[in-house]
Structure 1
Amino acid sequence: MDNLMGLLRLHVKKGVNLAIRDVSSSDPYVVVRMGKQKLKTRVVKKNVNPEWNEDLTLSVADPTLPVTITVYDKDLFSADDKMGEAEFKIGPFLEAVKIRHQLGLVPEGSVIMKVQPNRENCLSEESQIVWSKGKIAQDMFLRLRNVECGEVQLQLEWIEVPGSRGI
């Protein structure tokens, strides 16, 4: 793990207008992947607008790897149904973390960078990278792909690890 740059905390906030995969609702959960790492949120029963409010932490060694978010519907008697996926790169976020040290004292809530939605990312609206409570944070609304509807709201936060190589 000498390659560790730091930790990326994903605060998986909620799903909005997720697809219905059971009779009238779904039992959604989120799987986050980056490289060989795979993390899961808990299942929220019978809810297409679930609030997970869960923190998942990824170790970042290769900043070029995309982070993939897949939403599934938990089924008891068959394979879980896929409810869409989204992918994003952490490059812009890491750029903001990198320049943070050159910014000196910035006021709470300052916007460091803005990321526009485009074909390369799954953002459904502009995403702002801000200085918040002494850390760099980024809120994202991700539009799920390969599904009729649904978005997932996340917040990214960078965690410096003592002894890691940093960014």
Structure 2
Amino acid sequence: MGNSEFEVRSYIEALKLHNSSLEEVPDGTVLSRLPPTTTNCLAEESAIYLHEGKVVQDLLLRLRDVECGEVEIQLEWIHFPGSKTFLSQ
């Protein structure tokens, strides 16, 4: 089936920025773009953007340890009331 990995640091930084200063930024605004490199599994540029008031990241990742293949995922932070989070730090 293969495997892949991705770095969440840029996504976390965008979450912190949104939590502190992006309340009036329009929907669809791109906060950051991550290019594919030889050291990550991105198959194409990955955008971190605002969608319906939430920070979202779309990723198309190349699979490793297989002949070929890709997996497409979307990250969205979901906060549960009462849970501890890095966003309040």
Structure 1 segment 45-124 matched on structure 2, within 5 A: 83-101=1-19, 102-124=21-43
Report deviation, 1:166: 2.1
Report deviation, 1:90: 1.2
Equivalent position SS for 2:2: strand
Q: Following superposition, which runs of at least 4 residues in structure 1 exceed 4 angstroms of deviation? A: none
- When normalised by structure 2's length, the TM-score is 0.86
Matched letter for residue 53 of structure 2: G
Report deviation, 1:119: 2.9
Match of 2:82 in 1: 163
Q: Does 1:145 align with 2:64?
A: yes
Report deviation, 1:158: 0.5
- When normalised by structure 1's length, the TM-score is 0.48
Match of 1:127 in 2: 46
Count of aligned positions: 85
Match of 1:36 in 2: none
Identical positions, percent: 49
Equivalent position SS for 2:4: strand
Larger Rg: 1
User: Which structure shows the higher strand fraction?
Assistant: 1
CA RMSD of aligned residues (A): 1.2
User: Which structure shows the higher helix fraction?
Assistant: 2
